[in-house]
Amino acid sequence: MVENYVYKKVDSVVFGMMSPELVKKMACAKVVTPELYDKEGYPVDGGLMDIRLGVIDPGLRCKTCGGNLRDCMGHFGYLELARPIIHLKYADVILNFLRCSCRECGKLLTDKKVKIAVEEDEGAEHHAEEEAGEDEVSTKKQVKSITSSLRNVKKCPHCGAKQFQVKLERPTTFLEDDKRLNPIDIRTRLERISDSDIAFLGLDPSFARPEWMVLIILPVPPVTIRPSITLETGERSEDDLTHKLGDIVRINQRLFENINAGAPEIIIEDLWDLLQYHITTYFDNEVSQVPPARHRSGQALRTLTERIKSKEGRFRHNLAGKRVNYAARTVISPDSKMELNEVGVPIEVAMELTVPERVVEWNLKRLKKFVENGPKKYVGSNYVVRPDGKKKKITDETQEQLLEELQPGYIVERHLMDGDIVIFNRQPTLHRMSIMAHRVRVLPGKSFRLNPAICNPYNADFDGDEMNLHVPQTEEARAEAEILMEVQTQIITPKSGLNVIGCSDDAITGNYLLTKNIKMSKEDAVQMLHSVGVLNIERFDKFKKTVDGKEIFSAILPDGFDFSGYSKSKEPIVIKNGYLIEGVIDKSTIGQDKGDLIRALYAKYGSSVGLDLLGKIFRLGIAVLLKHGFTTSIADTDLPQEVSDKCKETIYNSERRVAQLIEQYSSGELEALPGLTLEATLEAKIMEVLNRCRQRVGEIIAESNLEENSTLVMALSGAKGSYLNLSMIAACVGQQALRGKRIELGYRGRTLSIFTKGELSPRAKGFIKRGYKEGLTPEEYFMHAMTGRDSLMDTALRTPKSGYLYRRLASALQDIRVEYDNTVRDANQNIVQFIYGEDGLDVSKTEGGKINVARIIREVLGE
């Protein structure tokens, strides 16, 4: 069998500058003309699109390597510049060298004695390095002190020549004693600097000679990195880089001609400057004080620096993030009948995505069937790969031939089938639970289906969310996905050690009602359990004529399972030998984040069984609601007359109290609290009264023992809503706060023009005394809208901020791992921690970050 062994690996990447000799050596063509194509539309020899630089047109062959569009990756050319040009990005380095070296003899403006003195300034810690030898490259810090000390040397200690101050006028003009230095002179000066002096100034002379920073030869990048696009009209549109290079070549030619013709110095200088401008913008079109080069349309050109930089640049767009094949994306919709680790895949998608399967003796028949079915019939295949690596598409023409030659060693790319492992993902991928492996379930329809129980880790809902699906293509990838990424392995988050997957909404309500007060006939119970996937016949046999809800719930639990915990309302829950004896199941037992029962099942029976049980509990909850019926209406929030009156009274009293306070304030009776002004005191007191009012209203409703209705059931079970929500609907919305204060009066002394100026009453500063059901008055509605808008803004402003923080954290920490010796180290083996988290525990394997010693003791002593 042919295998794609990895026999070469990139070991390291070295960065350095290119010498003119190197540029020439690696170039395949010399560019001499700005023309691109001749009359026939064929690339001109010596032009920028020379086919020695690679091919971008189908049909042509590269003159250098002979490859066609696919094989040839392009070759560099070079352009001989008529006059030297300063490399923009190295201008600062050049300046340093000019300042530190003698203008006559090129030696460093210091003799050895000074050198040593400078080094000693650096302190003892560098001492060992300095003695290592003369050619040793100085550290960055040393260089800084050397250069600053040599800046103002007036006389060369070696030849005695007088030195002038050199200045850099950004971006690329050098001035010496206010006279312009031309690049030719700069280059000759830089050439004179010795290798050891270069090393002393912190550069490695074998990688970067300073005179290389003044270009005399410009490498021309291969055409493959600047392909032209052919428009529908047949017209060619060239890449920005080609445009820019065209300008450079054109001016360069003009400069050559003028020099040869012996043109006046001024004209040559002008052209030289123009060439400098073009090469500067070729490197970076966003240099300050340089007008960016533009298209005819006025749009700035995207030249080299812009290509590399920023989010859309080469690094972040193409290198750190890559495009893939074998992926699909569509809308998601819920299907609670599926298992939690399944994903419903539309048949159209399943017929497009493929899994490569190698033909061996034993599966030949099966795979033959797939090839026979072809790409149009489900469970077919789209491609066959021959052992020599040739990929053949299955079409009506090729089908028979392929079927004939199919034999062990071939690879068939068959359609996605039930049970295949795929990777499912929803953006933003904020944590590892945002991308998990699922089992395929091919279904009719056009959307991905997923169990609503796993919405939480993906942070998904079904209001139009789309998700991505990827098919791993190698055995290794599939194994990793299955063992490390499948849903059941991700139940507990490493963030806090709590379960991110659990029941939610109706599933909680259903189980709550079931375990609280539902009884049903044996037939119904068995029917319901079976529909949910529970087939525990021994338990079914034990059912009496009417079955209690607790017993129905218990039918899911395995025999011998013991559990004790507390419900949301702190009442004990006891499960013994697989039977729920006491207590009501609610959010704190089966919910997300703190579902103790889920944790216990997971801990005892392992991930797969735990996930299966969770799926059953989830479906049971929904089945109960289906059978029992559950709805919530606005009438659920009706309060009995006396409760309602009590609330009204509380609000009235508070308003009275505030009025009193304002009265006291205006009559000067109010006393300031320590450290507060009188106004602030009043404000603080009013706030306190109003907040207490809101709280009190909530308490009245909570204490009033309302008849248990659907809204309340949802709040009590923890499925959705709370007493706070209820009281806001039924009684009083409360104070609207902006930046922690009541709504401010603003420049005109009032919030709305219906109030008198300076009015401090609750309603003038955003207290809403009505409930949502009663309805808000216009001014209340306005205040409510204010806080609503504020929170919208908050969200909009927060997302990019937290996104940036996350990116920085990820960049800083990505290479840190636990080593085999249990130390935590970064990629260069520097130790961060001697043992992770001071006890070496993996948070995702603990219970909320801890090991539950108490439970172990109970287990040991309990027997």
Partner 1 sequence: MLLGLLERYWENKMLPQHLIAKVEDYSKKYKISDKDQKEILKRVEEIYNKAKISPGESIGVITAESFGEPSTQMTLNTFHFAGVAEMNVTVGLPRLIEIFDARKRPSTPRMEIPIKSKYSRTVEAVREVAMKIKETKLGDIAQEISINIAKATIEIVLDKKKMRDLDIKPKLVLDKIAEGLKSVDVKDNDSSVILKSKEKEISLSEVYKLKEKAKSIHIRGLQGVTHVLPVKGDDGNYIIHCAGSNLKDALLLEEAEKERIMTNDIFEISDVLGVEAARAAIINEANKVIKDQGIDIDIRHVMFLADVMTRSGTVKGVTRTGIVGEKESVLARASFETPIKHIVNASLVGEKDNLNSVVENVIINQPVPLGTGLPGLIAKMKKD
- Distances, alpha carbon 371 to alpha carbons 67, 383, 398, 404, 557, in Å: 33, 8, 10, 10, 45
State the minimum distance, in angstroms, from the CB of residue 433 to partner 1.
Answer: 9
Q: Based on CB atoms, which residue is closest to partner 1, 463 or 476?
A: 476
The CA distances from residue 392 to 327, 356, 367, 380, 475, in Å, are: 20, 13, 15, 14, 22
Q: Decide if residue 89 touches partner 1 (CB under 8 A).
A: yes
Structure letter (DSSP) for residue 77: E
Asked if residues 315 and 308 have their Cβ atoms less than 8 Å apart, the reply is yes
Residue 428 or 640 having the CB closest to partner 1: 428
* 73 touches partner 1 (CB under 8 A): no
**Is the Cβ of residue 649 or residue 815 nearer to partner 1 in the bound state?**
815
Give per-residue burial for 3-26: e unless 16+ CB within 10 Å, then b.
eeeeeeeeeeeeeeebbbeebeee
Among positions 582-611, residues that touch partner 1 (CB under 8 A) are: 593
Establish if 849 lies at the interface with partner 1 (CB under 8 A).
yes
The least CB distance from residue 235 to partner 1, in Å, is: 34
Q: Starting from the edge strand earliest in sequence, which strands make up the sheet with 572-576, in order?
A: 563-566, 572-576, 579-582
Q: Is 10 in the site for partner 1 (CB under 8 A)?
A: yes
15 scored as a contact of partner 1 (CB under 8 A): yes
The DSSP result for 734-762, as a single string, is EE-EETTEEPP-TTTT-SSTTSPTT--ST
Residues 225-284 that bind partner 1 (CB under 8 A): 284
CA nearest neighbour of 326 among 428, 451, 478: 478
If we measure between CA atoms, which residue out of 568, 619, 575, 577 comes closest to residue 595? Answer: 568
Q: What is the DSSP letter of 46?
A: T
- 765-768 long-range contacts (CB < 8 A, ≥24 apart) are 766/735, 766/736, 766/737, 766/738, 766/742, 767/690, 767/734, 767/735, 767/736, 767/742, 768/732, 768/733, 768/734, 768/735, 768/736
**Spacing of C-alpha 466 from chain mean position:** 17
578 lies in the binding site for partner 1 (CB under 8 A): no
* Residue among 116, 673, 678, 785 that touches partner 1 (CB under 8 A): 673
Least distance between partner 1 and beta carbon 523 (Å): 44
| Site residues (CB under 8 A) for partner 1, limited to 811-830 | 811-820, 822, 824, 826-828, 830
Among 5, 16, 58, 159, binds partner 1 (CB under 8 A): 16
- Tell me which of 2, 128, 231, 861 binds partner 1, using CB under 8 A: 861
Q: Is the CB of 401 or the CB of 474 nearer to partner 1?
A: 474
Answer for which of 153, 175, 208, 670 binds partner 1 (CB under 8 A) is 208
Distance (Å, whole) CA 823 – CA 843? 16
Residues 6 or more apart in contact with residue 820 via CB below 8 angstroms = none
Residues in region 717-776 near partner 1 by CB under 8 A: 739-740
Site for partner 1 in 431-450 (CB under 8 A): 431-432
Let me know: does 64 contact 73? Beta carbons within 8 Å: no
Residue 669 engages partner 1 in binding (rule: CB under 8 A): no
Place of tokens 């990048």: 221
Cβ 701 vs Cβ 726: under 8 Å:
yes
Which of 148, 152, 188, 206 touches partner 1 (CB under 8 A)?
206
Please report how close the Cβ of residue 807 comes to partner 1 at its closest, in angstroms: 8
Euclidean distance between CA atoms 345 and 441, whole angstroms = 6
What CA–CA distances, in Å, run from 24 to 185, 200, 210?
23, 29, 18
Among 1, 4, 5, 11, binds partner 1 (CB under 8 A): 11
Range 294-313, binding partner 1 (CB under 8 A): 305, 308-309, 313
Q: Give the C-alpha separation, 371 to 357, whole Å.
A: 12
The residues in 119-178 that bind partner 1, with binding defined as CB under 8 A, are 137
How far, in Å, CA of 491 to CA of 526, rounded?
Answer: 29
User: Looking up tokens 């319901």, which residue turns up?
Assistant: 528
Distance from C-alpha of 788 to C-alpha of 785, rounded to nearest angstrom: 5
Q: Is 680 in the site for partner 1 (CB under 8 A)?
A: yes
Position among 61, 115, 316, 770 found at the interface with partner 1 (CB under 8 A): 316
Residue 288 structure tokens: 């300050």
Confirm or reject binding of residue 810 to partner 1 (CB under 8 A).
yes
**Which CB atom, from 368 or from 470, has the smaller least distance to partner 1?**
470
**Rounded to the nearest whole angstrom, what is the least distance from the CB of residue 418 to partner 1 in the complex?**
27
Least distance (Å) between residue 848 CB and partner 1: 8
Beta carbon of residue 787, minimum distance to partner 1 (angstroms, whole number): 12
Tokens representing residue 803 in the block: 């996104």
Q: State in angstroms the smallest separation of the CB of 831 from partner 1.
A: 8
Contacts to partner 1 from residues 414-433, by CB under 8 A? 428, 430-432
Binding region for partner 1 (CB under 8 A) out of 169-177, 347-355, 397-405, 802-810: 802-810
Site for partner 1 in 469-508 (CB under 8 A): 480, 484, 494-498
Q: Which stretch binds partner 1 (CB under 8 A): 38-46, 145-153, 521-529, 833-841?
A: 833-841
Which CB, 26 or 812, lies closer to partner 1? 812
Q: Which of 57, 204, 482, 699 binds partner 1 (CB under 8 A)?
A: 204
What is the crossing angle of helices 723-730 and 710-717, to 10°?
150
Binding partner 1 (rule: CB under 8 A), the pick from 124, 128, 324, 860 is 860
Is position 798 an interface residue for partner 1 (rule: CB under 8 A)? yes
Number of residues that bind partner 1 (CB under 8 A): 99
Q: Does 659 bind partner 1 (CB under 8 A)?
A: no
Q: Using alpha carbons, list the distances in angstroms from residue 382 to 352, 387, 391.
A: 8, 17, 10
Of 383 and 836, which CB lies nearer to partner 1 in the complex structure?
836
Closer to partner 1 by CB, 299 or 811: give it. Answer: 811
**Distance of alpha carbon 751 from alpha carbon 758, whole angstroms:** 9
Pick 10 or 261: Cβ nearer partner 1: 10
Task: Note whether 207 and 17 are within 8 A (CB).
Answer: yes
**Burial of 143: CB neighbours in 10 Å, binned 0-12, 13-18, 19+:** middle
* Contact criterion met (CB below 8 Å) for 767 and 782: no
In sequence order, the 6+-apart residues with CB closer than 8 A to the CB of 27 are 75, 76, 77, 78, 219, 220
Among 320, 362, 463, 707, binds partner 1 (CB under 8 A): 320
Q: Could you tell me the smallest distance in angstroms from the CB atom of residue 647 to partner 1?
A: 28
Q: Which stretch binds partner 1 (CB under 8 A): 99-107, 289-297, 668-676, 775-783?
A: 668-676
Is residue 35 within the footprint of partner 1 (CB under 8 A)? Answer: no
Q: Is 4 in the site for partner 1 (CB under 8 A)?
A: no
- Return the residues of window 357-376 that contact partner 1 according to CB under 8 A: none
